[in-house]
Chain A
Amino acid sequence: MTAVQRRVIQAGVLAVVALACLAEVLYIFPIRGGILWQLELPGGPDVVLGSGFIRSFSLRQWPDVLVEITPGLAFAFSGLIAWSVRPRNRVGLLMMGVGVGLLVGVQPGAKGSPAFSELLAQILSPWPAIDYPWVSIALSIVGALGVVMLIHLLLAFPGGRLVSGVDRALVRSFYILLPLAAVLGEAAMNVSPEALGVAFSSNIFVYANTVPNLIYLACLVLGLALVIRRWLLGGRARRRSLAPVFWSVIPVVFAFLPWSVIEIAGGLSLKGKGSAAALFDPLSTAAHLSPLLLIALPVGFLIGLLRTGLDMSSIGDLVVRLSSGLTPDQLQPALARALQDPSLRVLYWLPTLGFFADLEGRRVELPDPDSERAVSVLGDPTAPVAALVYESSLVHEGQLLDTAAAAVNMALENARLQVQLRAQLEEVRQSRVRLVEAADSERQRVERDLHDGAQQQLVTLLLSMQAAKAEALKQGDRRVAELIDANISALREALDELRELARGIHPTILSQAGLMPAIQSLADRSPIPVDVKGAFGDTRLAPPIEAALYFVVAEAITNAVKHSKGKRMRVQVGRNLGLATIEVSDDGVGGADVSRGSGLLGLTDRVAAVGGRLVVTSDAGKGTTINAEVPCG
């Protein structure tokens, strides 16, 4: 976030705060009939205030105003301070959001701050299209968002990020549910049944208001449950750091609960509005004063944030986990959790290979440190052990990082050994692929050399001998002509052999026409009848895969011809779910041994090099079946 954006947000928050205060102050000194309060609310103030807790306009005095704006102000200013102290921690932003929500948003039942909404309505009065219901719906959304941000804040504190997936999912759904409930409730109260042109009974109308309130209450209870769960699962160390915040939550719950209870009870059991206040008078009084309790929370957050910095207690959790044995795979998530940075990566230095690698042993370049990512190399700079790549906001937590790094030092050494092993395996795998590819292209080159060289020369020689024979015949020398003829036959045999040799080295039809014609060609040439079934689809496979599968079939047929005594072979090919498969079977004597025949062993390696698998089934008397499957994307 740029400095300009930060300034704009800060100024915006301050402006909203100022406007809210102004509205409250003006509300105490209404200039009725004057410029400010010209707006006559449809149905009078009672309709706006809804069926629940009723606060009389005329009774508003300075204490009311203080009760009204203090929690919001406390959150907004605590948020501003928190944000300027820890600009990359979202806690500050969330606190400001809560503050704005409390100051200008409309809460269900309590009706938040009608003063602000009326001021806004006044400001907007030149535009009649934006009438009062729209303004109050908008403000109720702001109010609902404030509540969600409070839950978000409770769950994300102190790191500012939601670490568990459950938390993330629930908070996301709250961001949708609560504003929706607020809009529904607001619409139910501001739109008169007559205006809808439908004969609603007043009961339906009251229920329409109750359902959103139930959603509200459910979200609050669920949010509270999550906070308690966090507390319970946190372990002793975390509990200690969360304690001030946790204890400050309790008054907040009491601040919110009366509203909801009154709203729901009122909605369910009461027809008239006045009796609600009468029945729940003690609760109403509690609700009336409850906003003051909210001050505890922002102060608790601010103190918690400033005192602990990043949650040191999670390092304690990390140490506890380490002592119970942490596998290399668990190390990165554990560190990410301890440092509250889900994007944290552990990279291991591989001295023999001279690069950093991830847990899979894949080479990873260290990112250039910038505004987003920071890098810490652990261990002696000349002989590093590992590197941590993390969000650069953590740079301010140097001590924390060092503590975490020291805690995981032993585990890192172990993990590095494992990574080194994996990297070497990966290296070997890749070198095997390169070997096969090199062999393939070498075969192709040899075939081409034979074709353009020896084969072509022999054919040309054949032509010359043909001419010589014609010449001999012309001169009537039958003996020489016969001699030449014998040579021609020998030469043709040599050509045939050379042709078969070249084809075995690399079949041109494979690169030219593809795997299927090449397999069919093998089958056509086989002394044992071979039935070919299936297809690989319309697109060609990658050349190394085609070559691997081709040689599987070629070797299988060669072996069957040599050893199986079979009468018949079958090649079944297919391709689905990203897997190319080939099954070559014969009806011969079976008993083939992969480990003995170097041909089959070589095939196993070749198929493995392209990431596939070769299985030979060859029970004595049951023929031989060779299955190959290769992932082909």
Chain B
Amino acid sequence: MRVIVADDSLLFREGLTRVLEGAGFEVVGQASNVAELDRILAQENASVVILDIRMPPTQTDEGLVAAKRIRRQHPEMGVLLLSQYVESHHAFELLGESPDHVGYLLKDRFADLNEFADAVRRVGNGGSALDPLVVSQLMGRKRSRDLIEDLTDRERSVLELMAQGRSNDAIASALKISPKTLEAHIGTIYSKLGLEPSGGDHRRVLAVLNYLRSS
């Protein structure tokens, strides 16, 4: 899978490239700012762009702005935004209306290499990867209104993993349950939260996130 890395620190870019290549990705370009990133995007064909939220010149949210733009301009390309802090506000701004081809993770998530590689792959294949921290904050927000209280602990774990963008197989193996049991859990969650049953993984993420986002 072809990947482009954008971050203003050379050391970080090099380090991440090495980690990604170790995990079997092909890094086809490195950019230190948004202009460079645009040049590479014009020349190279890649499945995923990994970029930091803080970029020159103001070091505030240039990365987020660029990510949103790239999502519009290249809908088929995955965009994975990294940040030292994760904020649900930024997550929703990045996701917009569709949780396809998009990810938003803490910058040091690569430390768990398997999970990180899985997230990059999901984003590259059209899925989504939302940082567990964001998801748990959103769950907390709902908890303040008694809506999540009805779920069992197991059901809550399933909901969190669904919101992160995991597939059924990944959730089942992470929780060490059978796919059949998982299906049953998902059915219960949907009926408890009053959600319409939806089709594939992508649509499911959207439904769950919309539910968590609604106030």
Taking beta carbons and an 8 Å cutoff, which residues of A are in contact with B?
A: 448, 451-452, 455-456, 459-460, 462-464, 466-467, 470, 488, 491-492, 495, 499, 502-503, 508-509, 511-513, 517, 520-521, 523-526, 529-531, 568
A509 contacts B59, C-beta separation under 8 Å: no
Taken together as a complex, chains A and B put the C-alpha atoms of A459 and B143 apart, in Å, by: 32
A512 contacts B60, C-beta separation under 8 Å: yes
B140 contacts A524, C-beta separation under 8 Å: yes
8 A Cβ contacts from B97-147 to A: 107-108, 110-111, 113, 137-138, 140-141, 143-145
Residue of A nearest to B12 (CB): A460
Smallest beta-carbon distance A491→chain B, Å = 8
Which 7 A-B pairs rank lowest in CB-CB distance, beginning with the nearest?
A463-B15, A529-B144, A524-B137, A517-B89, A460-B11, A531-B144, A470-B22
Smallest beta-carbon distance B67→chain A, Å = 14
B84 contacts A451, C-beta separation under 8 Å: yes
Contact with A along B21-34 (1 / 0, CB 8 A): 01000000000000
**Among candidates A464, A466, A525, A531, residue contacting B113 with C-beta atoms closer than 8 Å:** A466
Smallest beta-carbon distance A32→chain B, Å = 94
Is residue B185 contacting chain A, with contact meaning CB distance below 8 A?
Answer: no
Question: Can you list 12 A-B pairs with a CB-CB distance of less than 8 A?
Answer: A456-B9, A464-B15, A470-B19, A499-B85, A502-B84, A508-B85, A523-B144, A524-B138, A525-B137, A526-B140, A529-B140, A531-B145
> Chain B residues with Cβ under 8 A from A492's Cβ?
108, 111
**Among candidates A466, A502, A520, residue contacting B88 with C-beta atoms closer than 8 Å:** A520
> Chain B residues with Cβ under 8 A from A511's Cβ?
60
> Chain A residues with Cβ under 8 A from B88's Cβ?
520-521, 524
> Chain A residues with Cβ under 8 A from B108's Cβ?
459, 462, 492, 495
Q: Which of A508, A517, A520 has the most CB of B within 10 A?
A: A508
**Among candidates A448, A513, A530, residue contacting B89 with C-beta atoms closer than 8 Å:** A513
Taken together as a complex, chains A and B put the C-alpha atoms of A168 and B176 apart, in Å, by: 90
Residue of B nearest to A455 (CB): B84
> Chain B residues with Cβ under 8 A from A524's Cβ?
88, 137-138, 140-141
Contact A509 B15, CB 8 Å, known A448-B59, A466-B113, A529-B140: no
Is residue B87 contacting chain A, with contact meaning CB distance below 8 A?
Answer: yes
Taken together as a complex, chains A and B put the C-alpha atoms of A456 and B144 apart, in Å, by: 34
Is residue B61 contacting chain A, with contact meaning CB distance below 8 A?
Answer: yes
> Chain A residues with Cβ under 8 A from B110's Cβ?
462-463, 466
B22 contacts A467, C-beta separation under 8 Å: yes
> Chain B residues with Cβ under 8 A from A491's Cβ?
111
8 A Cβ contacts from B34-68 to A: 54, 59-61
Smallest beta-carbon distance B34→chain A, Å = 16
Taken together as a complex, chains A and B put the C-alpha atoms of A464 and B12 apart, in Å, by: 9
A462 contacts B87, C-beta separation under 8 Å: no
**Among candidates A448, A466, A503, A517, residue contacting B111 with C-beta atoms closer than 8 Å:** A466
How many residues of B sit at the interface, in one of the four size bands?
20 to 34
Taken together as a complex, chains A and B put the C-alpha atoms of A513 and B111 apart, in Å, by: 28
Is residue B71 contacting chain A, with contact meaning CB distance below 8 A?
Answer: no
Is residue B18 contacting chain A, with contact meaning CB distance below 8 A?
Answer: yes
> Chain A residues with Cβ under 8 A from B22's Cβ?
466-467, 470
Is residue B16 contacting chain A, with contact meaning CB distance below 8 A?
Answer: yes
Smallest beta-carbon distance A568→chain B, Å = 7
Contact A513 B87, CB 8 Å, known A460-B12, A463-B12: yes
> Chain B residues with Cβ under 8 A from A512's Cβ?
60-61
A463 contacts B18, C-beta separation under 8 Å: yes
> Chain A residues with Cβ under 8 A from B144's Cβ?
523, 529-531, 568
Contact A463 B89, CB 8 Å, known A523-B144, A525-B137: no
Q: How many contacts between A and B, using CB within 8 angstroms?
A: 86
> Chain B residues with Cβ under 8 A from A530's Cβ?
144
**Among candidates A463, A513, A521, residue contacting B16 with C-beta atoms closer than 8 Å:** A463
**Overall SS of chain B's interface:** helix
A467 contacts B85, C-beta separation under 8 Å: no
A456 contacts B111, C-beta separation under 8 Å: no
> Chain A residues with Cβ under 8 A from B85's Cβ?
499, 503, 508-509
Taken together as a complex, chains A and B put the C-alpha atoms of A492 and B84 apart, in Å, by: 12
B143 contacts A529, C-beta separation under 8 Å: yes
Smallest beta-carbon distance B37→chain A, Å = 19
Taken together as a complex, chains A and B put the C-alpha atoms of A531 and B142 apart, in Å, by: 9
A517 contacts B59, C-beta separation under 8 Å: no
Other 10 A-B pairs with CB < 8 A, given A492-B108, A531-B145 = A448-B59, A456-B9, A459-B12, A463-B15, A463-B16, A466-B22, A467-B15, A513-B87, A517-B89, A525-B137
Is residue B90 contacting chain A, with contact meaning CB distance below 8 A?
Answer: yes
Contact A456 B12, CB 8 Å, known A467-B19, A509-B90, A520-B88: yes
B15 contacts A466, C-beta separation under 8 Å: yes
Smallest beta-carbon distance A16→chain B, Å = 72
Residue of B nearest to A463 (CB): B15
Q: Which of A517, A526, A529 has the most CB of B within 10 A?
A: A529
Taken together as a complex, chains A and B put the C-alpha atoms of A530 and B144 apart, in Å, by: 6
> Chain B residues with Cβ under 8 A from A531's Cβ?
144-145
Smallest beta-carbon distance B108→chain A, Å = 5
> Chain A residues with Cβ under 8 A from B11's Cβ?
460, 463
Smallest beta-carbon distance A374→chain B, Å = 52
B89 contacts A460, C-beta separation under 8 Å: no
Smallest beta-carbon distance A532→chain B, Å = 8
Q: Which of B111, B137, B143 has the most CB of A within 10 A?
A: B111
> Chain A residues with Cβ under 8 A from B137's Cβ?
521, 524-525
Smallest beta-carbon distance A168→chain B, Å = 56
Taken together as a complex, chains A and B put the C-alpha atoms of A492 and B60 apart, in Å, by: 23
> Chain B residues with Cβ under 8 A from A529's Cβ?
140, 143-145
Smallest beta-carbon distance B51→chain A, Å = 15
Taken together as a complex, chains A and B put the C-alpha atoms of A451 and B52 apart, in Å, by: 12
Smallest beta-carbon distance B38→chain A, Å = 22
B111 contacts A521, C-beta separation under 8 Å: no
Smallest beta-carbon distance A497→chain B, Å = 12
Taken together as a complex, chains A and B put the C-alpha atoms of A460 and B11 apart, in Å, by: 7
Q: Which of A460, A492, A509, A524 has the most CB of B within 10 A?
A: A524
> Chain A residues with Cβ under 8 A from B61's Cβ?
512
Contact A488 B111, CB 8 Å, known A448-B59, A467-B15: yes
Taken together as a complex, chains A and B put the C-alpha atoms of A291 and B88 apart, in Å, by: 89
Residue of A nearest to B107 (CB): A459
Taken together as a complex, chains A and B put the C-alpha atoms of A524 and B138 apart, in Å, by: 7
B18 contacts A521, C-beta separation under 8 Å: no
A509 contacts B12, C-beta separation under 8 Å: no
Smallest beta-carbon distance B90→chain A, Å = 7
Contact A523 B89, CB 8 Å, known A463-B110, A466-B113, A492-B111: no
A513 contacts B90, C-beta separation under 8 Å: yes
Taken together as a complex, chains A and B put the C-alpha atoms of A139 and B167 apart, in Å, by: 96
B89 contacts A520, C-beta separation under 8 Å: yes
> Chain B residues with Cβ under 8 A from A499's Cβ?
84-85
